[in-house]
Amino acid sequence: MHKFVNQTGFILLILFLLGFMSCSDMDETYRHFWERGEKQYPAPADSLQVYSGKNRVGLSWIIYGDPNVDKVKIFWENRSDSLEIPIQSTGGTDSMFVVIDELAEGTYSFDILTYNKKGNISVSRSVIGTVFGDVYENTLLPRFMQSAFYKEDTLSITWGNPADTTSIGSEIFYRNRAGSYNRVIADNSVDITSIADYDYDSDPTFTYRTIYVPPMAIDTFYSAVQTVKVKGAPHYYPKLNWTATASSFDSRPGGSYRPPQYTIDNNLSTIWVNQISPQTYYPHTLTIDMGAVVSVDGVALTVKKRNETPRLIDVYVSVDGIKWTMMGLFTVENITDVAQAFDFYETQQIRYFRIVGKEPSGNTNNIVIAEVDAYTYNDDNYTSERYTSTDYSYDGTIKKLQSHIIGKGIAMVLTGDGFVDKDFKGVSSTFDQLMHSVMEGYFSEEPYKSLRDRFDVYSVAAVSPNWGFSGETKTAFGCAYGDGTHITGDNGKVFQYANRISGIELSETVVVVVLNSIRYGGTCFYYSDGASIAYCPIAKGDEGLFHRLVLHESGGHGFSKLKDEYGNSGAISEAAAAKYVEQYNKFGWGKNVDVTNDPEKVHWSYFLKDIRYKSQVGIYEGALTYSTGAYRPTENSIMRYNTGGFNAPSREAIYKRAMQLSEGGDWIYDYETFVEFDGPSRTRIATRSIMVPSDFEPTAPPVFIKGSWRDAQKNTIGN
C-alpha cells in the first residue's frame, strides 16, 4: 500500500509540471486577452452562417453575454480587405446579420473578430462562402417548353421537366386583351399553364425566364429571357392508313408481342419494344409511312416514365423513303403519356419520318415508345379526310428511261400502285425519281450490269384514287398484303397498262410494280408463256434493300425464272420435289436449285469440275423453301438472303435468257463464251463477304400460273 501511494504522488507531480508548462504556452499565445492576471478578451462570434448572393454575401452570427463588445471586424482576401461594424451589446444573446456588397464572383474565406471597449480582441472565427455573378447566371437554363399554342381563345403552354433542383418556377410576360402586359408565375409542379386573356391577334409572342434560388441564398437568379412565337393549335394527322416498320421488335408471343404498329394505333396502353431475344442494341430505328406527301411542322412522341424511354432522338424526313434529311437531335423528357412535340425548323413536305433512338434514359439496351404523331400548324394544310386524287391526266403516261444499243432490245416496264395524282406532278416527280432508282438498282448488279445495253426501259404512270393499302382505300392495281410477305394485285390490269407500250411482247417483258409503301414484302407471279409481274414495296425505306428486293423478285424470279435458295420449312415432300422436276423438265426453270446432291447429276455439275469456279460453287442443303432434301450452289446469294450477288448458275441463267431475247432464235449458247463474259463477276464474287441481315425475313415464294398474260386480262376487274 505504501508503495502505491509513492507512485501516485510521483504521477501527480508530473501532471502538475505539464499543466504549468501548458499554461505558460497559452499565456504567450493569448497574452493580449489578459490583463493583471484576469481574463479580459471579448466573447467571439458564434454560430456563423454565410448566404450567397449576386456579387455579395450575407453573414450572420451570435454573440453570447458580453456587454463590453462594441465592434466587429470582418476580414477577407487574406485580410487585405475588411469591414468594421460598431455594435451596442445588450449583454444577453445578440444576433447579427450583415451584407457585404461589391464582391467579385468566387469563393471567399471570412474571418470575424470582436473587440471590447478596452481594445481587446476575441478569438478569430472563420467561415467559407460563395459569391455568384454573371458567370453563374449565364449557366442557368430555362425550363424546357414542349409546346405553346393558341386554341379556343386560350394560350396553352406544356412544360418539360424542371431544368434544375434549384429552380422554383418560370416567369411569363405577355400582352393581355386590355393592351397591358401581365406577369404570371408557373410553378415547377405545374406541367401545363393556361392563360385565358392572352392577346394572340395583337402579339403572337411572349417571353419567359426561369427563376433560380440556390440553397442559403439572399438573391434570386434568372435564366436568359426566351422569346416564344405562339402557333395555332397543332392539327394531328389521322393515322388510319399509316404503316410502321422498325429496325427490330419484340416478336415473342402473347403479351410480349410488341411490334412497331403499336406506335400508330392511338392506344397508349400498347408499346413498341425492340427485339430482346437475341438482344439488339442502340441505335433503334422507327420509320413511319404516312401514305401521302403532306405538310408537316413537327412530330410528337408519347412515352412512359421508365429507363427504356429514349433520352436522345434524331428525326429524319423523306419524300420517297429513300433520301432522308435530318431535322435535328432532340431531347425526350422521361414523363408518362404526355405528347411531346418536336417542331421542325421549317414546314416540310414529306411522306415519311424516321425516329432514331440514340441513347436511353436509364441503364438499358432497350427502347419503348407508346405513340408517334405528325402535325401541322397551318389550317390550310390539314385535312382529316383520306386524300383522293382528282387529276387523272397523268394516268397512262409512258416515258422511255433507256434505249438498247445492242441486239433487238429487251423490254422492261416499271409502274407503281398507291401513287396519287400529286406523286406525278413536276419535272422530276416522286414517281419519276423512284422509277429511275429502280432502273439504276437493277443494273447495278452483275450480270445485269454487263447486259444493260440490251434493255429498253419504260415507265407507265398509274394514278391511284387513294394512297395506302387497306380495305378502305382504292388503288390502281388493287394491291394488298397477305400473310407474311405475300402481295397480290390485279395482274390483268397491270398487263393492260404495260401493253400500252407499242411494239413489245409481254411474254418477253420484265414488269415491276412498285408499291408506294415501306412495308417489307415481295411476290413474283410468272406465267407459262414467260410473262411475269414482280410486286415490290419500297422495303423499309432502305434504298439498298429495295434494290436487292427488286433484283430477287424480278431479276431472279421474273426474268430468269430462278427459284428461292432459302430453306425454313422442314424436309421437302415427294410431291413438292416431283412438281419442281416437272417444271424444270418442261420449261428449264430453276437451274439454281436441285433435289439431288449428286455432284455428277446436279444441274451445275460442270461448274463443280471447272477450276475457274473453285471455292465459288458447291452443294449446300436448303432450297425451294425447304431445309432438307433440296440443294443450292452457294452458301449465300441474292436468291437466299437478298445479299451477296447472283451465284454462277444464276448468272448463267440470266445470261442465257438475255442473249436469247436480244439475239433471237439463231443464237447458240457456248459455255466458254459465257465464262469469258462472267470474268468480272467471278473475280468480284470470289472476294465478296457473306452478309446475312440480322432481321432477314424471306419473301413469299414465286407463284406459277398456267397460261399466258392474255388469260390474266380476261379476269381483270372492270375489264
Q: Tens digits of per-residue pLDDT, 322-367?
A: 899 999 888 898 988 888 888 898 889 999 999 999 999 999 999 9
Q: What is the DSSP letter of 718?
A: T
Q: Considering only the C-alpha atoms of the chain, give the largest distance between any 2 of them, rounded to a whole number of Å.
A: 141
* Residue written as grid cell 458580453: 66
- Tens-place pLDDT, residues 473-493: 799 999 998 888 999 999 999
Across 670-692, average pLDDT: 74
- Residue 694: the pLDDT is 54
Q: What is the pLDDT of residue 688?
A: 45
Q: Are 27 and 34 in contact (CB under 8 A)?
A: yes
Q: What is the mean pLDDT of residues 85-111?
A: 93
- Relative to beta strand 398-402, strand 455-460 is antiparallel
Handedness of CA 634, 640, 644, 649 (dihedral sign): positive
Q: pLDDT value at position 5?
A: 33
Q: How far is CA 670 from the centre of its chain?
A: 52
**For the residues 637-661, what does the mean pLDDT come to?**
94
Nearest to 711 by CA among 563, 463, 506: 506
Exposure string over 499-536, b if 16+ CB within 10 A, otherwise e: bebeebebebbbbbbbbbbbbbbbbbbbbbbbbbbbbb
What angle in degrees, to the nearest 10, is found between the helix axes of 648-663 and 679-686?
160
pLDDT digits (tens, 9 = 90+) for 278-325: 999 999 999 999 988 888 999 999 999 999 999 999 999 999 898 999
Q: Is the pLDDT of residue 716 over 80?
A: no
CB 311 within 8 A of CB 362: no
Percent of the chain with pLDDT over 90: 65
Q: Between helices 543-550 and 430-442, what is the axis angle to 10°?
A: 60
Q: What is the mean pLDDT of the chain?
A: 87
For 676, counting Cβ atoms within 10 Å of its Cβ (0-12 exposed, 13-18 middle, 19+ buried), the class is exposed
The C-alpha atoms of residue 166 and residue 175 are separated, in whole angstroms, by 29
Please give the C-alpha separations between residue 159 and each of 68, 310, 388, 669, in angstroms, as whole numbers.
Answer: 58, 18, 38, 73
Please state the φ and ψ torsions of residue 174, each to the nearest 5 degrees: -150, 165
Phi, psi (5° rounding) for residue 38? Answer: -110, 145
Q: How confident is the model at residue 684 (pLDDT cuts 50, 70, 90)?
A: low
Nearest Cα to Cα of residue 132 among 224, 212, 73, 210: 212
Distance CA 420, CA 293 (A): 10
Give the whole-angstrom CA distance, residue 522 versus residue 542: 14
pLDDT, tens only, 139-182 = 999 998 878 888 778 999 988 888 788 999 999 999 888 877 89
- The pLDDT score that the predictor gives to residue 276 is 93
List C-alpha distances in Å: 628 to 484, 571, 631, 652.
Answer: 22, 5, 8, 25
Residue 257: predicted pLDDT: 93
SS3 260: helix
Q: Are 52 and 45 in contact (CB under 8 A)?
A: no
**Cβ atoms within 10 A of the Cβ of 539, count?**
27
pLDDT tens for 496-526 read: 999 999 999 999 999 999 998 877 889 999 9
Cα end-to-end span (Å), the chain: 133
CA distances from residue 405 to 191, 414, 435, 457 in whole angstroms, order as listed: 68, 20, 21, 12
* More confidently predicted of 637 and 14: 637
Distance CA 672, CA 681 (A): 15
- 135-139 mean pLDDT: 94
Identify which of 607, 601, 600 has the alpha carbon closest to the alpha carbon of residue 675: 607
DSSP state of 589: -
Cβ-based burial of 574 (10 A; exposed 0-12, middle 13-18, buried ≥19):
exposed
Per-residue buried b or exposed e for 542-561, using 16+ beta carbons within 10 Å of the residue's own CB = bbebbbbbbbbbbbbbbbbb
> For residue 259, what is the DSSP state?
-
Mean pLDDT, to the nearest integer, of 456-472? Answer: 87
- Give the whole-angstrom CA distance, residue 458 versus residue 451: 17
What does the H/E/C string look like for 439-475? HHHHCCCCCHHHHHHHEEEEEECCCCCCCCCCCCCCC
Sign of CA dihedral 704, 709, 711, 712: positive
pLDDT of residue 467: 78
The helix (H) or strand (E) run that includes residue 579 is helix 574-587
Confidence of residue 466 (pLDDT cuts 50, 70, 90): confident
Closest CA to 270 of 371, 178, 200: 371
- The pLDDT of residue 647 is 94
Residue with cell 407499242: 502
The band of 495, judged by pLDDT with boundaries at 50, 70 and 90, is very high
Give dist(CA 297, CA 342) in Å, integer.
Answer: 9
Does an H or E element contain 312, and which? strand 310-318
User: What value does the mean pLDDT take over residues 204-215?
Assistant: 93
CA distances from 204 to 179, 207, 342, 509 (A): 13, 11, 19, 60
Strands 455-460 vs 410-417: parallel, antiparallel or unpaired: parallel
Nearest to 106 by CA among 139, 130, 77, 128: 130
pLDDT of residue 293: 86
Q: What local confidence, expressed as pLDDT, does residue 163 receive? A: 74
For residues 525 and 493, the answer to whether their CB atoms sit within 8 Å is no
Grid coordinates of 430: 416522286
Of 493, 303, 512, 304, whose CA–CA distance to 395 is shortest? 493
Does 368 score more than 90 pLDDT?
yes
Instruction: Tell me: pLDDT of 470 over 70.
Output: no
Assign 695 a pLDDT band (cuts: 50, 70, 90): low
**pLDDT of res. 644:** 82
- C-alpha torsion sign, points 690, 696, 697, 702: negative
Tens digits of residue pLDDT in 563-616: 999 998 899 999 999 999 999 999 999 999 999 999 999 999 999 999 999 889
- Average pLDDT (39-45) is 83
Give the Cα separation of 139 and 214 in Å (integer).
13
Which helix (H) or strand (E) segment is 373 a member of? strand 371-376
Is the pLDDT confidence value at 16 over 50?
no
69 in Cβ contact with 87 (< 8 Å):
yes
pTM for this prediction: 0.57
DSSP state string for 70-123: EEEEEEETTTTEEEEEE----SSEEEEEEEE-SPPSEEEEEEEEEEETT--BPP
Between residues 58 and 15, the one the model is more confident about:
58
Confidence band for 685, pLDDT divided at 50, 70 and 90 = low
Domains and CATH numbers, the chain: 38-132 (2.60.40.10), 140-233 (2.60.40.10), 236-381 (2.60.120.260), 398-561+703-714 (3.40.390.10), 578-686 (no CATH)
**Residue 703's beta-bridge partner residues?**
525
- Phi/psi for 474 (5° steps) reads -120, 130
Categorize the per-residue pLDDT at 32 as very low, low, confident or very high, splitting at 50, 70 and 90: very low
Which grid cell is 391? 387529276
Residue 240 CA from chain centroid, whole number: 22
